[in-house]
Amino acid sequence: MNKVYLTPKDNLNEAFKNLSENTTVYLEKGTYYGKVNLFTSNVKIIGSGADTVISHNDYARMVNSDGVEIGTFQTYTLLITGDNVTLENLTVENTAGSPATLGQEVALSCYGNNFTAKNCHFKSTQDTLFLGPLPDDLVVRYDGFLPDYLRYYQGKTYQKFIDCIIFGTVDFIFGSANALFDNCKIVSLNDNRDVGYVAAPSHSLANEIGFVFLNCDLISNNAPNVYLARPWRDFGKTTFIDCNYQDHINPIGFINWQDTYREKTARFLEYNQKDYTRPTWTKKLSRNEKDEFLAHALKFFTF
């Protein structure tokens, strides 16, 4: 395994262009400013703790050199397209703020398979984490607008977040990856809007796992009325198992994106929640159903 040592004086994006596979990059504490692409597979990026920060501030309504708004998927601070990438002990943030006026603001955009984040912080407001691939219709729609590496599709991806803290306001965990959030803190912020949403899944029907929140704490940082999830696309799937909710979570829990047809396809499940009155189109798992689902799902997150 090759080793690379970087400090905040280094240009992180330039350094990542030259990485070879089977490399571990050690980041000294401090803030690394700039937009960063990581295209290499089989890489570990290890920081010195939450005070090792990768920071940038693009936003969806920013206008490019052609006079066109860049849109959600070009706002990321850190982009990962390589497979078998691990992040440890660092923070990735988008500091644009004010999404009600500036639009979406992605911190991490991950298209890679077998991705792992351990003990990391991800900070933004609307759309903090994009977990690729894109929904099928957007792969087609954005041909000629997004570069190919932002439309990259390799079928199902599996990504896991362990002991992480994820901050956001609206749809701040979204996309089509099969993703496990194990023992994470999911922190809803207040961006001066009267409602928030944690997850916005867009899985195809073929994705039978979706987003899985296991033993997570859903926390309010002065947050308004927050829903657990709403379906960004038909068949979006999200499961909450043994999670703790603070009072900012709306008792209804889930909402259909103001689209009654999404009620027919959305796949939202819970286990060991309080006796909330959830929509009839969501499902409370029995203990046996929970055990069977986890036994199957966790097999895919052993990388």
Q: How many CB atoms lie within 10 A of CB 67?
A: 6
pLDDT confidence tier of residue 275, bands split at 50, 70 and 90? confident
Six-digit token string for 171: 């749809």
| Residue 10 pLDDT > 90 | yes
Query: What is the pLDDT, as a whole number, of residue 34?
Result: 97
Domain map (residue ranges) of the chain: 2-301
- pLDDT value at residue 20: 97
Query: Please, which residues bridge with residue 87 across strands?
Result: 45, 117
Tokens of residue 241, six digits:
């198992």
Is 276's pLDDT higher than 90? Answer: no
Taking a C-beta distance cutoff of 8 angstroms, is the pair 151, 111 a contact? Answer: no
- Using an 8 Å Cβ cutoff, are 257 and 230 in contact? yes
DSSP 8-state class, residue 195: E
The amino acid occupying position 94 is: N
pLDDT tens track for 248-264 = 999 999 999 998 899 99
Judge whether residue 46 has pLDDT over 90.
yes
Confidence at residue 277, expressed as pLDDT on a 0 to 100 scale: 87
User: Using one digit for the tens of pLDDT, what is the confidence trace for 93-130?
Assistant: 999 999 999 999 999 999 999 999 999 999 999 999 99
At the top level of CATH, which class does the domain 2-301 belong to? mainly beta
Residues recorded for the chain = 303
Is residue 231 very low, low, confident or very high in pLDDT (cuts 50, 70, 90)?
Answer: very high
Pairing of strands 217-220, 244-245: parallel
For 138-172, the pLDDT digits (tens) are 999 999 999 999 997 778 999 999 999 999 999 99
Q: What percent of the chain has pLDDT over 70?
A: 100
User: Residue for token digits 């998927």?
Assistant: 73
Q: Answer whether 105's CB lies under 8 Å from 123's CB.
A: no
Percentage above 90 pLDDT, the chain = 94
pLDDT of residue 1: 81
